[in-house]
Amino acid sequence: MTALPKTPFLGVAYYPEHWPEERWKIDADLLHEAGVDVARMMEFAWDKLEPESGEFDFAWMDKALTIFQEAGISVVLCTPTPTPPPWLTSQYPDILRVDDKTGQRAVAGSRRHACCNVPAYRDFSAKIVKAVAERYGDHPNVVAWQIDNEFGCHGTVRCVCDYCRAEFQKWCERKYKTLDALNAAWGTQFWSATYHKWSEIPVPAPTSASHNPGLLLDYRRFSSDSWVSYQKMQIDLLRQYIGERPITHNFMLRFFDLNYRDFAADLDIVSYDNYPHGMSGPSECAFNLDLMRGLKRKNFWIIEQQTGHVNWTPFNPPAPPGQVRTWTHQAFAHGVDAVFYFRERAVNIGQEQYHAGLLKHDGTPDRGWHESKQVKADLAERPALTRPQAPVAILWDYEDLWTFELEPHNSAFSYYREALDLYRTCWDQNIPVDILARDADLTGYETVFVPSPALIDEAQVQKWRSYVEAGGNLVVLFRAFFKNPGSTWSDQPMPAGGLSDLLGMTVDEFLSIPLVPNVGLRPPIDKADDWNDDRGSHVNDVSARPGIGFGENFGLPTKTRYQLWAEVLKPTTATAILRYSDGYYKDGVAATANKVGQGTAYYLGCWCDPILPRVLWQALGLQKHVVTSDVRGAVTEIVKLVDETGQNVDVLLNHTKHTVTLPETSK
């Protein structure tokens, strides 16, 4: 068996079914020249592998594998289940999913149009997976496997067909055991929706008003669990034939319909599709890379890396010279072991003809090919580097995110943006950040941020208390611990579940603040007497207050703007460190600090702009981790890594269009 190349290495997505066989060797040689070590194949080839039900054709794939093996390129094979062929959907039309937003059944001819709870789809998926695993499970040039492709792409997670309804009712019975428990968890007495039979429970298909928030949240859990089960079915089948070869699946940027932590648990390697033109800039790119690394707290792969213009954003610009090389090195700096470029060549058929590849439509090298070759040369000179544990962690939770998506109480409120704003505050100063699960082990972290932990979990409070008592800095942000797991509101003062004791405060009042036209994310709330009349003409502020070493003791500016959300706090054992400077809640407490054991638990009650006010930045001592350089441009990133001898190595990334000259000592 061919082993995986030494990391870090380069790969590419290759589609032999898109090109004549006489082209395969030419492409393999060109890709090898560009530094490609591994090719990914087969994720959309179900109809070519099984042109009719039960009739398999492997001859073409056999030939492609041989050609790439002779060219010195190993292969990652994918199970081809995201694109059920027309013969299957024609024979079993119930496979086609029913959209939860429109109630309409999908039509064949695209991808990701199947429902994983339909028995026929699961059965035929198992048959094709078993067939390819039997054929290629011990192939000497197949070094790893990918399950399917981009679960949930195009918003295809939540189907509301009859099969899903039946499975959801079973899922609810397994979870709640009794209908009394379910009714209590969801609060079904509201709008007279108490269930007396499991068969009465609906799915959240389009309706005249909104569905119960408990049903909606549980349906998201159920839908995610359904695809986790479908992935697990494939993993278990593959394991019977592939030995110890690693198994992966490719996750997507800004994708929140699935709980990726649950998917990652069953995978050997997390993979990620990195398309920076779908993001706001290099800091968001870095955030998503660190989010992926945190799913298993280990290095991961980029299984699709943008190589030029894409075909799916509102405006599809080219990648400027040097950009693909920079994106690749940014990925390696954030804990990536392999970067697979997407794709090998701009395709001449189908729905993605405007998507760039390493090769142009005519098969000649494009800019991405040349930059891949340069990256390969870079790696030959690069020492083995690892990324140490960061001093700062952000705790990320998909169920908290779902809770706010379902009931934002402010259309501009975004859990994702809140976490990203926290991350950017550190990224701007080159402070490393790890992104972890809410229940993660926090040993070794100096500061931990918890963005809006909506759902109450008393066990987590005990873990956080132990962390603070041992000397940690815990920073919890607004909208914390107010919802029970079934999405009913707690009858305890916020934050509930014992968190108020740890933080030494309660929330007296909360305010959802609308966006102000032509002002940006600035709050429109001022004095009580013009609360409804003069929105948008004022800027809200909070002021730093002295106490336990904060505020004016640092000589900081006295005003900090806030936006979108504000809470008036009532300290019990905590000290006020920020107060509101205007509005009818003027002089009300906006942020607190509570000394617990050797550490401090902070609560930030408003969305400051920037999100981390300087008074809190100073109190946390984050300034000691700031990394500066005389070559740092406006958005140049400095990542601290460690070589094999334990020495620190700074990786400098120039994300600007300007040339930067490094001092001799930095080269």
What is the Cα–Cα distance from 265 to 270, expressed in whole angstroms?
Answer: 9
Do residue 426 and residue 348 come from a single domain? no
Task: Look at residue 356 and tell me if it is in a domain.
Answer: yes
pLDDT at 534: 30
Q: Poorest-confidence range of 40-44, 273-277, 544-548, 552-556?
A: 552-556
**Closest-CA residue to 559 (of 551, 570, 547):** 551
Asked whether the predicted pLDDT for residue 350 surpasses 50, the reply is: yes
Measured CA to CA, the distance from residue 490 to residue 214 in angstroms comes to 13
Q: Is the pLDDT of residue 428 over 80?
A: yes
Residue 278 is predicted with a pLDDT of: 86
Q: Evaluate if residue 552 carries a pLDDT over 50.
A: no
User: What is the per-residue pLDDT for 397?
Assistant: 98
8 Å CB contact between 327 and 286? no
Q: Which of 334, 361, 385 is the last residue of a domain?
A: 385
Rounded mean pLDDT of 593-610?
A: 96
The answer as to whether 208 is a domain residue is: no
- Per the listing, tokens 């994983």 go with 116
Name the domain count of the chain.
3
In sequence order, what are the residues at sequence separation of 6 or more whose Cβ sits closer than 8 angstroms to the Cβ of residue 386?
641, 642
Q: Residue 539's pLDDT is what?
A: 39
Contacts 24+ apart (CB under 8 A), 18-26: 18/347, 18/348, 18/349, 19/345, 21/60, 21/63, 23/363, 24/63, 24/64, 24/67, 24/68, 25/67, 25/70, 25/71, 26/363
Q: What percent of the chain stands above pLDDT 70?
A: 91
What per-residue confidence (pLDDT) applies to 294? 98
For residues 60-76, average pLDDT: 98
Residues near 518 by beta carbon (within 8 Å), at least 6 away in sequence: 536
What CATH number does residue 229 fall under?
3.20.20.80
C-alpha 401/C-alpha 30 separation (Å) is 44
Asked whether 395 and 481 are in contact (CB, 8 A), the reply is no
Which residues touch 338 (CB under 8 Å, ≥6 apart)?
A: 7, 8, 9, 10, 11, 38, 301, 302, 303
User: What SS3 string covers 162-219?
Assistant: HHHHHHHHHHHHHHHCCHHHHHHHHCCCHHHCCCCCHHHCCCCCCCCCCCCHHHHHHH
Please tell me the distance from the alpha carbon of residue 451 to that of residue 604, in angstroms, as a whole number: 10
Of 363, 385, 407, the domain-final residue: 385
Residue 349: inside a domain, yes or no? yes
Name the residue type at position 207: T
pLDDT of residue 528: 26
Place of tokens 């959907």: 89
CA 202, CA 521: separation in Å to the nearest integer? 39
Residue 210 lies in a domain: no
**What is the pLDDT, as a whole number, of residue 530?**
28
340, part of any domain = yes
Instruction: Note the Cα 85 to chain centre separation in Å.
Output: 30
Q: What is the pLDDT of residue 589?
A: 96
Helical pair 21-33 and 59-70, crossing angle rounded to 10 deg:
30
Per DSSP, the three-state class of 500 is: helix
For the ranges 199-208, 424-433, 591-600, 656-665, the lowest mean pLDDT is seen at 656-665
Q: Is 603 helix (H, G, I), strand (E, B) or coil?
A: strand
Residues 396, 376 share a domain: no
**Residue 506 belongs to what domain range?**
392-625
Specify whether 71 is located in the same domain as 18: yes
Which of 130-139, 256-265, 475-484, 546-555 bottoms out in mean pLDDT, i.e. has the lowest?
546-555
Chain segment 78-105, per-residue pLDDT in tens: 999 999 999 999 999 999 999 999 999 9
Do 241 and 283 belong together in one domain? yes
343, 369 contact by CB (below 8 A): no
CATH number at residue 510: 3.40.50.880
- The pLDDT of residue 314 is 85
Nearest CA-CA partner of 358 in 375, 339, 343: 343
Task: Say what the pLDDT of residue 442 is.
Answer: 98
Burial 568-589 (b: 16+ CB within 10 A, else e): bbbbeebbbbbbbbbbebeebb
Residue 635: band (very low, low, confident or very high) from pLDDT cuts 50, 70, 90: low
**Which amino acid does the sequence have at 154?**
H
Euclidean distance between CA atoms 667 and 661, whole angstroms: 9
197-215 per-position pLDDT tens digit: 999 999 999 998 999 999 9
CB atoms within 10 A of CB 165: 18
Residues 477 and 506 in one domain: yes
Contact 615, 528 (CB under 8 A): no
Q: If residue 31 lies in a helix (H) or strand (E), which one and from where to where?
A: helix 21-33
Task: Judge if 349 and 439 occupy the same domain.
Answer: no
pLDDT in tens, 392-415: 999 999 999 999 999 999 999 999
Burial class (CB in 10 A: 0-12, 13-18, 19+), 322: middle
Q: Is the pLDDT of residue 333 over 90?
A: yes
Question: pLDDT tier at 630 (50, 70, 90 boundaries)?
Answer: low
Instruction: Read off the pLDDT band of 156 (50, 70, 90).
Output: confident
pLDDT-derived band of residue 553, with 50, 70 and 90 as boundaries?
very low
Q: What does the mean pLDDT of the chain come to?
A: 91
Q: Is residue 633 over pLDDT 70? A: no
**Can you tell me the mean pLDDT for 255-281?**
95
Res. 523: pLDDT tops 70: no
Pair 651, 620 in one domain: no
Other Cβ atoms closer than 10 A to 138: 13
Residues 277 and 369 in one domain: yes
Q: Which has the closest alpha carbon to 552: 573, 578, 582?
A: 578
231-259 pLDDT, tens digit each: 999 999 999 999 999 999 999 999 999 99
State the sign of the Cα–Cα–Cα–Cα dihedral 214, 218, 219, 220: positive
Active site residues: 150, 304
Q: Which of the pair, 1 or 387, is modelled with greater confidence?
A: 387
Question: Alpha carbon of 35 to those of 72, 368, 379, 415, 487: distances in Å?
Answer: 10, 12, 10, 40, 51
Cα(469)–Cα(462) distance, integer angstroms? 10
Long-range pairs, 358-367, Cβ under 8 A, ≥24: 358/12, 358/30, 358/31, 358/34, 358/307, 359/27, 359/30, 363/23, 363/26, 363/27, 365/30, 365/34, 366/307, 366/308, 367/308, 367/319, 367/321, 367/324
Position 560 pLDDT exceeds 90: no
Would you place residue 542 in the very low, low, confident or very high pLDDT band (cuts 50, 70, 90)? low
Residue 500 lies in a domain: yes
| DSSP designation for 264 | H
Task: Note whether 326 and 426 are same-domain residues.
Answer: no
Where is the domain boundary, 347, 363, 385? Answer: 385
For residues 145 and 273, state if they share a domain. Answer: yes
Domain-embedded: residue 187: no
pLDDT at 221 > cutoff 50: yes
User: Is position 162 within any domain?
Assistant: no
CA distances 568 to 498, 516, 576, 581, Å, are 19, 21, 11, 12
CA distance 456 to 464: 13
Query: What distance in Å separates the CA atoms of residue 121 and residue 92, rounded to the nearest whole number?
Result: 8
Same domain? For 44 and 15 the reply is yes
The dihedrals phi and psi of 604, each to the nearest 5 degrees, come to -105, 115
Q: What is the mean pLDDT of residues 633-661?
A: 85
Strand order of the β-sheet with 637-643 is 385-386, 637-643, 648-653
pLDDT-based confidence at residue 547 (cuts at 50, 70, 90): very low
The Cα 635–Cα 623 span in angstroms is 19
Indicate the pLDDT class of residue 313, thresholds 50, 70 and 90.
confident
**Helix or strand or coil: residue 641?**
strand
Q: Which of 543, 537, 536 is nearest to 514 (CA)?
A: 536
- 312 and 452, same domain (yes or no): no
